[in-house]
Structure 1
């Protein structure tokens, strides 16, 4: 009797596992469709953001370089890397990932390098914004073109270096190689170049918000800057903090929570350029003038603080 029960339970377990994988595969298919739409919107938003950067002559040159780096990374991710990465995940969960693994591995490495460098760049932009608000004199020095380029190179070079080390030390013999929870160096890069920059960015924006709050009644940034900072805090919390939580909980690639949270997380590639344009009156005016044949009659006043942020 005991043997029969064990055999029955074993049969049930083996019969339910494929069903669960099939359901996860369907969920990944829906997520893939949503992410393709997201990427399409992201490409358009990045093009508009680049147009605003190229047209506007008021923005400080160092910040302009950083934003160009950010939106170029977002553009490449949305146009090429994210759709391919999502398609590879779908193939893995559909059990059709059997051929051309070398090219897929290289492709995913490029995606990881691009996304982690993008997160580091977002962190640096937040730090520079805080310097512009809290320490204007230091900001003028550190926002010189050569220093900005050097800071970005120093901050992003470990991402490439660790990925090269990972390529020669990691066993890519199975699908498990794509799960960051299975290898120490993948966990290190995940928390070091995605989670940590996200936390630092959030802390920096909170410091800026507190600084503006205590500066009320004296010389302080305009209300539009305060509104922008609050929105940045909200979007960072909604789109990026859940990703930190699932990686800390070691949720695997084949769990529905992993798919859903990553769909939410990847929305920030679209949100960043949209917020950049939407929260600045000058850039909104540029877009309106570009898209409409009717001249803008209302003069928009833009302070130097808003242009900087």
Structure 2
């Protein structure tokens, strides 16, 4: 890896693109701030919830920890490095490259963790007996360690092969072997997650039709989880696909389309945790009671029936039936 600094003479500032990138930075900083709050609240909900099976809780905790890391450090650092490059600032090429590399690794790990959760939901719905074994904490830890560790190693190998003197630092898919790696460890997990999501929804829909449960009252907790799945499918598909198209087409990082698509794509870093909380009644109540301790809310039943009583901070509603088993709060 060549570590020579970029020189101002070798760079020409495009005022139009620089202005757009400055505005993009403002949006990305706001996204990061909201993402930090949302990820922190999601982790707090998980730590205070005893209703999730241990393996799924570990997966969710890892996923939101990666979101927190990306929002708090990786994404803001990369956004600043991207602005430096557009403004032709005389910053160390190694520093800029390091910031982009750190963000790329963190973001790819987060996407692969998301795909793993999708796979686990598919197994849970289609092969519940196998899910019991695969969802053991040790198995979950080993599988995530293998996949996410592999992501880190592959990117480090690619980064070590780059020549910084002749490189669009802001666009890792343009690196030597970068596009191939994007297809292998970003595009492929995205497609796998989509297939898993669609399969889960189809299976659940057919089971409900077969059981004659389409006409019901208030949705149960399990149905709330399925609702959250649908929202996340649509949200992440809409944000992931344009992002992948930009990288696979080889669009340079100074193009306006590259800048705008990345601003839109990075919105998922803030949206995912709030969807996770907002689509789950139990967690939504926890957050509301945390924000407004004196707030009075109707009690919620895990079976879908509502109660007349009220609850305030310190008196969180208990499930109406201890026989209801569900992955409370699982978004995938």
- Correspondence for 1:239: 239
- Correspondence for 2:54: 61
- Correspondence for 1:130: 122
The equivalent position to 1:108 in structure 2, one of 100, 119, 122, is: 100
- Correspondence for 2:255: 255
> Is the counterpart of residue 305 in structure 1 residue 326 in structure 2?
yes
Please state whether the residue corresponding to 2:177 is helix, strand or coil: helix
Distance 1:137 1:78, change over 3 A: same
- Aligned-residue CA RMSD (Å): 2.0
Q: Aligned partners of 2:20, 2:288: CA distance in 1, in Å?
A: 38
Please state whether the residue corresponding to 1:215 is helix, strand or coil: helix
Structure 1 residue 27: Cα displacement: 0.7
Structure 1 residue 181: Cα displacement: 4.1
> Is the counterpart of residue 173 in structure 1 residue 165 in structure 2?
yes
Q: State whether residues 198 and 236 of structure 1, in contact with CA within 8 Å, keep that contact through their aligned partners in structure 2.
A: no
Q: Aligned partners of 1:134, 1:175: CA distance in 2, in Å?
A: 46
Q: Aligned partners of 2:226, 2:145: CA distance in 1, in Å?
A: 30
Structure 1 residue 25: Cα displacement: 1.1
Structure 1 residue 296: Cα displacement: 4.1
Question: How many residue pairs get matched?
Answer: 291
Q: Aligned partners of 2:174, 2:72: CA distance in 1, in Å?
A: 29
- Correspondence for 2:317: none
Structure 1 residue 31: Cα displacement: 0.4
Structure 1 residue 224: Cα displacement: 2.2
The equivalent position to 1:208 in structure 2, one of 200, 206, 220, is: 200
- Correspondence for 2:271: 271
Q: Aligned partners of 1:205, 1:89: CA distance in 2, in Å?
A: 33
Alignment of 1:290-301 (within 5 A): 290-294=290-294, 296-301=296-301
CA offset digits 1:284-309 (Å, max 9, x no partner): 11112212222544221235335163
Q: State whether residues 129 and 308 of structure 1, in contact with CA within 8 Å, keep that contact through their aligned partners in structure 2.
A: no
Structure 1 residue 86: Cα displacement: 0.5
Alignment of 1:214-233 (within 5 A): 214-218=206-210, 222-233=222-233
TM value normalised by structure 2: 0.82
Structure 1 residue 154: Cα displacement: 1.0
**Which ranges of structure 1 fall in alignment gaps of 5 or more residues?**
1-16
Q: State whether residues 243 and 262 of structure 1, in contact with CA within 8 Å, keep that contact through their aligned partners in structure 2.
A: yes
Structure 1 residue 118: Cα displacement: 0.6
CA offset digits 1:133-165 (Å, max 9, x no partner): 222111111000000000001111221112221
Q: State whether residues 195 and 244 of structure 1, in contact with CA within 8 Å, keep that contact through their aligned partners in structure 2.
A: yes
In terms of fraction of residues, the more helix-rich structure is 1
Q: Aligned partners of 1:110, 1:159: CA distance in 2, in Å?
A: 12
Please state whether the residue corresponding to 1:240 is helix, strand or coil: helix
> Is the counterpart of residue 156 in structure 1 residue 148 in structure 2?
yes
- Correspondence for 2:73: 80
- Correspondence for 1:33: 26
Structure 1 residue 107: Cα displacement: 2.4
Structure 1 residue 183: Cα displacement: 2.7
Q: Aligned partners of 2:17, 2:171: CA distance in 1, in Å?
A: 16
TM value normalised by structure 1: 0.88
Structure 1 residue 218: Cα displacement: 4.3
> Is the counterpart of residue 52 in structure 1 residue 48 in structure 2?
no
Q: State whether residues 205 and 229 of structure 1, in contact with CA within 8 Å, keep that contact through their aligned partners in structure 2.
A: yes
Q: Aligned partners of 1:295, 1:308: CA distance in 2, in Å?
A: 22
Q: Aligned partners of 1:167, 1:248: CA distance in 2, in Å?
A: 18
Moved more, 272-281 or 46-55: 272-281
